[in-house]
Structure 1
Amino acid sequence: MERKITFNELRKIKDSLPDGSIRKIAEEFDLTEETVRNYFGGANYTSGAAVGIHMEPGPNGGIVLLDDIAILERAKELIHEEVV
């Protein structure tokens, strides 16, 4: 399932993740940590892979189209678990 989100919203979610969440997500999805960072707007394609995000210029850092929202949903769960 794909979803549109602003780049700034995506970065806010990444910045709100509890410590160790990038590693946890990487392990759960069998990805490298750099690949997970690339999902959240990083650009290290030497150590990480592309992950199906497409960026378009626009307000709030532009619009990001995510091909698969599983990582995004897991990140939101981890943030919620930290708050609760």
Structure 2
Amino acid sequence: MSTTTITFNQLRKIKDSLPDGSIHTIAEELNLDVETVRNYFGGANYDRGKSVGIHLEQGPDGGIVELDDTTILEMAREILKGKKPQVQS
């Protein structure tokens, strides 16, 4: 587990580039609610999903997002590379 900083627009671009069903795949692999994974990518459904350690700061390009845990981001990037996501232990 590591932290990283990314712009909000970059994070949304990754989410929007994922093939259909990827959010569900990531949620299933990590045993998370689908809304929790959506919240990671900038969603705000806290009735069904949880906060997942993202911190937003206003700024250019949608602002800066600091991610406390990059597991979901890394899995999304693996999916975009055409690989099956691997859960890190």
Whether the TM-score (by the shorter chain) exceeds 0.5 is yes
Deviation at 1:36, TM superposition (A): 0.2
1:17 maps to amino acid: L
Q: Which runs of 4+ in 1 moved over 2 A?
A: none
Give, as a single letter, the amino acid of the residue that structure 1 aligns with 2:22: S
User: What RMSD, in angstroms, separates the aligned Cα atoms of the two structures?
Assistant: 0.9
- The answer to which structure has the higher helix fraction is 1
Q: TM-score, normalised by structure 1?
A: 0.95
Which whole-Å CA distance do the structure 2 matches of 1:57 and 1:20 have between them? 30
The TM-score with structure 2 as length reference comes to 0.90
- Cα deviation for residue 40 of structure 1 reads 0.2
Deviation of 1:11 after TM superposition, in Å, equals 0.0
State the one-letter code of the partner of 1:40.
F
Give the fraction of aligned pairs with identical amino acids, expressed as a percent. Answer: 66
Give 5+ residue unaligned stretches, structure 1. Answer: none
Q: Residues of 2 paired with 1:80 and 1:36: CA distance?
A: 19
Paired with 1:68 and 1:35, the residues of 2 have a C-alpha distance of: 13
The residue that corresponds to 2:67 in the other structure is 66
2:45 matched to which residue of 1?
A: 44
Q: Which letter does structure 2 place at the counterpart of 1:73?
A: E
Aligned to 2:21: 20
1:81 CA displacement: 0.3
Paired position in structure 2 for 1:2? 3
- What is the total number of aligned residue pairs between the two structures? 82
For residues 28-75 of structure 1, the C-alpha deviation after alignment (integer angstroms, 9 at most, x for no partner) is 011010000000000000010000000000000000000000100000
Give the Cα–Cα distance (whole angstroms) in 2 for the partners of residues 8 and 36 of structure 1: 17
